[in-house]
Amino acid sequence: MFDTLDMHILEILFEDARITPEQVSVMTGADVLEVRRRVKRLEDERVLIKYPAMINWERTEKEMVQAVIEVRVQPQRDRGFDAVAARIYEFEEVTSCYLMSGAYDLMVMLEAPTLKQLAAFVHAKLSTIESVTGTATHFILKTYKYGGAVFEGKGTDRRLAVTP
Amino acid sequence: MMDYSRIVNQSVRAVPPSGIRKFFDIVAEMPDAISLGVGEPDFVTPGHIRDAAIDSIEQGMTQYTSNWGRIQLRALIAEYLRERFALHYAAKDEVLVTVGGSEGIDLALRAIVSPGDEVLVPDPSFVAYAAGVRFAGGVPVPIPTPAEDAFRLRPEVLRAAITPRTKAVIFPYPNNPTGSVMPRAGLTAIAEVLADTDIIVLSDEIYAELSYGGEPHVSIATLPGMRERTVLLSGFSKSFAMTGWRVGYACGPREIIEMMCKIHQYTIMCASIQGQIAAEQALSRGLENDFQDIQAMVRSYDRRRRLMVDGFEKMGLRCFAPLGAFYVFPSIAMTGLGSEAFCEKLLYAEQVACVPGMAFGASGEGHIRCCYATAVDKLTEALKRIERFVKGL
């Protein structure tokens, strides 16, 4: 059961995971011990998975190739797509993996240091999985927005500075 | 030489310009300024609402509408008020679509006030009421609603202010600038004072959706005997993040709304059709999904509200805990500065813009208005700067 306090906690941490339980307590009026208890529970239930920073790697020196791969697979008896999805997402190159409706089955997002390594992953690892029947690889050229944050260009506040 | 001071209308000339204009000019020159002086949401209008307006332009819907506003919109407003606030108005002749809530205030005053009539204006409150009364030829009579009364209108204060010339009382709750609300018990007491009078209540409920603390907003028009003496004024700006569209509405007894529509017809003609279509989209989507957008917005404001109250209290400034709108109104009395001096010094010293309480009436002196419709990290930084400023005084 999710109540308003859970929603508050999730919305606050989604916006800025650095906010402390003490600050959450101020912002919600809930006791700080209660906030800690809730956070623990949300973590245990794997609602709160991880607290990473959102990084625009394109602004760094790091060399990196990113791609989206559409994967068609043969679902397995009793296990559907889950088993093959697990085989795919266990590779460290895979950053995201989704089951999709539409023309293909899995959408796999990949990251590798070079184009060569990424290509090697697709033909040596991904395509050789037995139930994979086809792939289509799309390279990411530029990130405009990710996880709700605009990467290119500055968010602008167009409001008048002072209004009655 | 033309002496324009004699040419212009004297009652217009006598109204002082809004006291916060100069702050605006100073802030505009400061790139690192954090403005808590805004009066609108920090959300842009939701995409589906913007799309509805764009579609309407592409379809060539570029004409005048009925003076009253599109019947589709009026029907949705009536349904919305019934669903959310248990208010019952006939779409046909008890709902008028206006150019923002502000036009509604002006129309209501002009439709009701005759020269010399008195209109009671709670003090502090939004700057446009007293000016509007003057433009209509009336006399604004401030009724103090001090911090000790939780910035609420007390029945005995209201009763004491009533004279044979009292035509109307402005009822601005949830309140700008204080964030104060009127709970049902307070409304009942006010209704009792007004019961045997012909005084009209102009209830400005533009912030009705922004109510915190679990108690939903109660409109004074829902109290027994009050519908017939209340003009409800509201709009889409604050609850749907639609300030720039300028769409509002007025609801009330047909005889008053018709007079308001007459003025509106000869001065404005109608609200922009795109704004009206956008407003229809806002309401129809909201009625479908139980106004989820508003609920999420209110949760977000509620957190920032607590953050601000806590921040001011911790730095030693008494801060009334508001239960509505998106402003806090802390007392700066302990600093010994007047509100205007405080805001000006703060702006130059720390580049944080607030609005002096006295801009909202004499009872607002000793306070500053801070809008918390701004990102949490900015609010935290602003609180830090204000604290540094206060400590250094």
* Chain-chain contact of B20 with A16 (C-beta, under 8 angstroms): no
Name the pTM for this structure.
0.90
In Å, how far is A18's CA from the nearest CA of chain B?
Answer: 11
Q: Which residue of B has its CA nearest to A11?
A: B300
pLDDT of res. A158 = 82
pLDDT of res. B322 = 97
* Chain-chain contact of B38 with A23 (C-beta, under 8 angstroms): no
Interatomic CA distance for residues B6 and A19, integer angstroms: 60
Q: How far are the Cα atoms of B223, B227, B334, B342 from residue B186, in angstroms, in the given order? A: 11, 17, 30, 33
Q: Is the peptide bond before B124 cis (omega within 30 degrees of 0)?
A: yes
- For residues A96 and A130, membership in a common domain is answered with yes
pLDDT of res. B126 = 94
- For residues A63 and A122, membership in a common domain is answered with yes
pLDDT of res. A2 = 84
In Å, how far is A25's CA from the nearest CA of chain B?
Answer: 9
pLDDT of res. B249 = 98
* Chain-chain contact of A27 with B307 (C-beta, under 8 angstroms): yes
Interatomic CA distance for residues B164 and B151, integer angstroms: 26
- For residues A35 and A65, membership in a common domain is answered with no
Interatomic CA distance for residues B167 and A45, integer angstroms: 61
In Å, how far is B198's CA from the nearest CA of chain A?
Answer: 31
Residue A26: domain span? 4-44
Interatomic CA distance for residues B217 and B206, integer angstroms: 11
Chain B residues whose C-beta sits inside 8 Å of any chain A C-beta:
18, 20, 23-24, 27-28, 33, 35, 37-40, 42, 126-128, 296, 299-300, 302-304, 306-307, 310, 353, 355, 359, 376-377
**How many CB atoms within 10 Å of residue B167?**
20
Strand partners, B166: B118
- For residues A97 and A24, membership in a common domain is answered with no
pLDDT of res. A157 = 79
Band (A164; pLDDT cuts 50, 70, 90): low
* A43 CB-near residues (< 8 Å, 6+ apart): none
Query: Smallest Cβ distance to A162: which of B307, B310, B355?
Result: B355
* Chain-chain contact of B28 with A28 (C-beta, under 8 angstroms): no
Q: Is residue A135 part of a domain?
A: yes
Q: Is residue A163 part of a domain?
A: no
Residue burial B231-266, b: 16+ Cβ < 10 Å; e: rest: bbbbbbbbbbbbbebbbbbbbbbeebbeebbeebee
Name the pairing type of β-strands B200-204 and B34-35.
Answer: unpaired
In Å, how far is B200's CA from the nearest CA of chain A?
Answer: 25
What is the percent of chain A with per-residue pLDDT over 70, rounded to a whole number?
A: 98
- For residues A117 and A138, membership in a common domain is answered with yes
A125 secondary structure, DSSP code? I
Q: How far are the Cα atoms of B70, B71, B123, B330 from residue B92, in angstroms, in the given order? A: 10, 7, 35, 44
pLDDT of res. B310 = 97
Q: How far are the Cα atoms of A13, A136, B328 from residue B304, in angstroms, in the given order? A: 14, 46, 10
pLDDT one-digit tens code per residue, A87-131: 999 999 999 999 999 999 999 999 999 999 999 999 899 999 989
Give contacts of B310 with chain A, Cβ < 8 Å.
26
- For residues A19 and A77, membership in a common domain is answered with no
pLDDT of res. B306 = 97
Question: Rounded to 10 degrees, what is the CA torsion of B147, B150, B155, B157?
Answer: 0
- For residues A62 and A139, membership in a common domain is answered with yes
* Chain-chain contact of B39 with A26 (C-beta, under 8 angstroms): no
- For residues A29 and A89, membership in a common domain is answered with no
- For residues A64 and A130, membership in a common domain is answered with yes
pLDDT of res. B214 = 84
Strand partners, B353: B35
Domains of chain B: 4-44+292-391 (3.90.1150.10), 47-288 (3.40.640.10)
pLDDT one-digit tens code per residue, B75-102: 999 999 999 999 999 999 999 999 999 9
- For residues A33 and A64, membership in a common domain is answered with no
Instruction: Return the closest-CA partner of residue B254 out of B96, B114, B97.
Output: B96
Q: Is residue A132 part of a domain?
A: yes
Which regions of B292-341 does DSSP assign to beta strands (E)? Answer: 327-328
What tokens does B294 get? 């508003």
Q: Phi and psi for B150 in degrees, rounded to 5?
A: 60, 30
* Cα A81–Cα A84–Cα A86 angle in degrees, nearest 5: 105
Q: Is residue A49 part of a domain?
A: no
3-class secondary-structure state, position B219:
coil
Containing B142, the helix (H) or strand (E) segment is strand B139-144
* Chain-chain contact of B306 with A29 (C-beta, under 8 angstroms): yes
**Alpha-carbon torsion (A24, A30, A34, A37), positive or negative:** negative
Q: Is residue A158 part of a domain?
A: no
Give contacts of A157 with chain B, Cβ < 8 Å.
42
* Cα B5–Cα B6–Cα B7 angle in degrees, nearest 5: 95
Q: Residue for token digits 């944050």?
A: A149
Interface of A with B in 22-81 (CB under 8 A): 23, 26-29
Give contacts of B128 with chain A, Cβ < 8 Å.
164
Give contacts of A8 with chain B, Cβ < 8 Å.
299, 302-303
- For residues A70 and A36, membership in a common domain is answered with no
> Would you say residue A163 has pLDDT above 90?
no
Give contacts of A4 with chain B, Cβ < 8 Å.
299
- For residues A107 and A72, membership in a common domain is answered with yes
Q: What is the CA radius of gyration of chain A?
A: 21
Interatomic CA distance for residues B352 and A162, integer angstroms: 11
> Would you say residue A80 has pLDDT above 90?
no
Q: Is the peptide bond before B216 cis (omega within 30 degrees of 0)?
A: no
Give contacts of B38 with chain A, Cβ < 8 Å.
159-163
Give contacts of A161 with chain B, Cβ < 8 Å.
23-24, 27-28, 33, 35, 37-38, 353
What tokens does B114 get? 């005759």
What CATH code is carried by the domain that includes residue A91?
Answer: 3.30.70.920
In Å, how far is B176's CA from the nearest CA of chain A?
Answer: 9
One DSSP character per residue, B282-300 reads: HHHHHHHTTTHHHHHHHHH
pLDDT of res. A162 = 78
* Chain-chain contact of A164 with B299 (C-beta, under 8 angstroms): no
Q: Which residue of B has its CA nearest to A157?
A: B42
> Residue type at A75?
P
* Structure ipTM: 0.80
Interatomic CA distance for residues B182 and B171, integer angstroms: 10
pLDDT of res. A155 = 67
3-class secondary-structure state, position B351:
coil
Q: Is residue A157 part of a domain?
A: no
Interatomic CA distance for residues B202 and A126, integer angstroms: 69
Count of residues in chain A:
164
Q: Residue for token digits 């509620």?
A: B302
The total number of structural domains in chain A stands at 2
> Residue type at B264?
H
- A159 and chain B: CB distance < 8 Å anywhere? yes
pLDDT one-digit tens code per residue, B236-265: 999 999 999 999 999 999 999 999 999 999
Q: How far are the Cα atoms of B66, B71, B221 from residue B93, in angstroms, in the given order? A: 12, 10, 17
* Chain-chain contact of B355 with A164 (C-beta, under 8 angstroms): yes
Q: Is residue A154 part of a domain?
A: no
Burial of residue B190 (CB within 10 Å: 0-12, 13-18, 19+) is buried
In Å, how far is B150's CA from the nearest CA of chain A?
Answer: 20
pLDDT (tens, 9 = 90+) of chain B, 393 residues, equals 899 999 999 888 988 877 677 777 888 888 889 999 988 898 899 999 999 999 999 999 999 999 999 999 999 999 999 999 999 999 999 999 999 999 999 999 999 999 999 999 999 999 999 999 999 999 999 999 999 999 999 999 999 999 999 999 999 999 999 999 999 999 999 999 999 899 999 999 999 999 998 889 999 999 999 999 999 999 999 999 999 999 999 999 999 999 999 999 999 999 999 999 999 999 999 999 999 989 999 999 999 999 999 999 999 999 999 999 999 999 999 999 999 999 999 999 999 999 999 999 999 999 999 999 999 999 999 999 999 999 999
* Chain-chain contact of A162 with B306 (C-beta, under 8 angstroms): no
In Å, how far is A31's CA from the nearest CA of chain B?
Answer: 13
